[in-house]
């Protein structure tokens, strides 16, 4: 079942993008590169496919946007967001997560297992979430260096961003510990390979993701979690120290 979101007029969002970005976003929309969007708690979510696939979110009431692409982290509103906004302006009917859940509740166990098999074939990373196995994710985090020098920077950043979002779907505090390990791994890669700039934003985003969770933890668990990051911070004499640790500054 679909539902109609707040009607979006092009003039409401076009002024928030450069002409070049709007043109590229419109081309993406016309080329049908926007997956069918879904609305979750008032936020419209979709994937937009370009050189890689990126997760895009739009809150049509507050006009708040988010995209997982590296461009958004550095410069703000991107062609992937523009593509989704053009899609919503043309067709404000989107699927509802609540209705999707109701459909799933009516399916048999056999049907659900078959469906999950298809999902895992399409998105192998979801197997971690289904099995609850953080061990596999831990091995992926520690294997990030393999082939890194030959990797496409955009695809690598998307891989790390996807890993970060997936980790946070697991139970805490284990997921936070793994997120900390991801930060430490990227930090060492940053210096081992001579200051790889495109890692800076993802490192900062990891700390931003951790920050609100740190406030909820008791002091002993928080100190244990932050021990490795604190040790790195105390030894770090680079320009990174002036900005990258800011989200967790109160816990250093």
pLDDT over threshold 80, residue 145: yes
Most confident of the following: 2-6, 82-86, 231-235, 245-249: 82-86
pTM of the model as a whole: 0.59
Percent of the chain residues past pLDDT 90, beyond the cut: 23
3-state secondary structure of 166: helix
pLDDT over threshold 90, residue 52: no
> Tokens 């509740």 label which residue?
105
Cα angle, residue 197 at apex, residues 194 and 203 outer, rounded to 5°:
105
Long-range contact pairs involving 100-106 (C-beta distance under 8 Å, separation at least 24): 100/38
> Tokens 């937009």 label which residue?
48
Helix (H) / strand (E) containing 3? strand 2-4
What does the pLDDT read at residue 11?
86
Does residue 121 or residue 131 have the better pLDDT? Answer: 121
**Environment class of residue 242 by beta-carbon count within 10 Å: exposed (0-12), middle (13-18) or buried (19+)?**
exposed
Could you tell me if 43 and 57 are in contact, meaning their C-beta atoms sit under 8 angstroms apart?
A: yes
- What is the distance between the alpha carbons of residues 64 and 5, in angstroms, rounded to a whole number? 14
Assign residue 77 a region (left: φ > 0; alpha: ψ between -120 and 50; beta: otherwise).
Answer: beta
Cβ neighbours of residue 1 under 8 Å, at least 6 residues apart?
Answer: 95, 96, 99
φ, ψ (nearest 5 deg) of residue 17: -130, 155
The mean-pLDDT minimum among 40-44, 129-133, 163-167 falls in: 129-133
What does the pLDDT read at residue 237?
79
The mean-pLDDT minimum among 25-29, 110-114, 132-136, 215-219 falls in: 132-136
Mean per-residue pLDDT over the chain, rounded: 84
Minimal CA–CA distance to 188: which of 141, 252, 247?
141
- The runs of H, that is alpha helices, within 143-173 are 153-167
* Boundaries of every domain in the chain: 2-98, 133-251
Could you tell me if 37 and 44 are in contact, meaning their C-beta atoms sit under 8 angstroms apart?
A: yes
**Environment class of residue 110 by beta-carbon count within 10 Å: exposed (0-12), middle (13-18) or buried (19+)?**
exposed
At 72-123, the pLDDT tens digits run 878 889 999 999 999 998 888 887 777 778 888 888 999 988 888 887 777 7
pLDDT over threshold 90, residue 126: no
User: What separation in angstroms does the CA of 102 have from each of 1, 98, 107, 194?
Assistant: 10, 6, 9, 51
pLDDT over threshold 90, residue 28: yes
């Amino acid at each position: 079942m679909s539902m109609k979101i707040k009607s979006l007029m092009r003039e409401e969002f076009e002024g928030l993008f450069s002409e070049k970005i709007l043109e590229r976003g419109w081309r993406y929309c016309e080329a049908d590169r926007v997956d069918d969007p879904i609305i979750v708690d008032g936020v419209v979510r979709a994937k937009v496919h370009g050189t890689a696939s990126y997760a895009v979110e739009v809150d049509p009431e507050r006009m708040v946007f988010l995209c997982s692409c590296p461009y958004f982290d550095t410069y703000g509103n991107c062609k992937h967001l523009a593509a989704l906004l053009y899609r919503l302006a043309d067709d404000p009917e989107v699927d509802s997560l609540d209705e999707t859940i109701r459909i799933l509740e009516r399916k048999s166990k056999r049907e659900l297992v078959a469906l999950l098999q298809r999902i895992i074939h399409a998105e192998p990373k979801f197997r971690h979430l289904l099995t609850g196995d953080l061990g596999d994710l831990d091995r992926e985090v520690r294997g990030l260096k393999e082939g890194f020098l030959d990797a496409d920077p955009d695809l690598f950043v998307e891989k790390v961003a996807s890993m970060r979002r997936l980790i946070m779907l697991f139970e805490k505090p284990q997921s936070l510990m793994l997120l900390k390990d991801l930060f430490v791994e990227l930090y060492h890669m940053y210096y081992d390979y001579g200051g790889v700039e495109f890692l800076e934003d993802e490192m900062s985003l990891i700390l931003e993701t951790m920050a609100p969770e740190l406030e909820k933890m008791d002091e002993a668990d928080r100190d244990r979690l932050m021990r490795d990051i604190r040790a790195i911070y105390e030894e770090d004499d680079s320009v990174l120290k002036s900005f990258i640790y800011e989200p967790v500054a109160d816990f250093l």
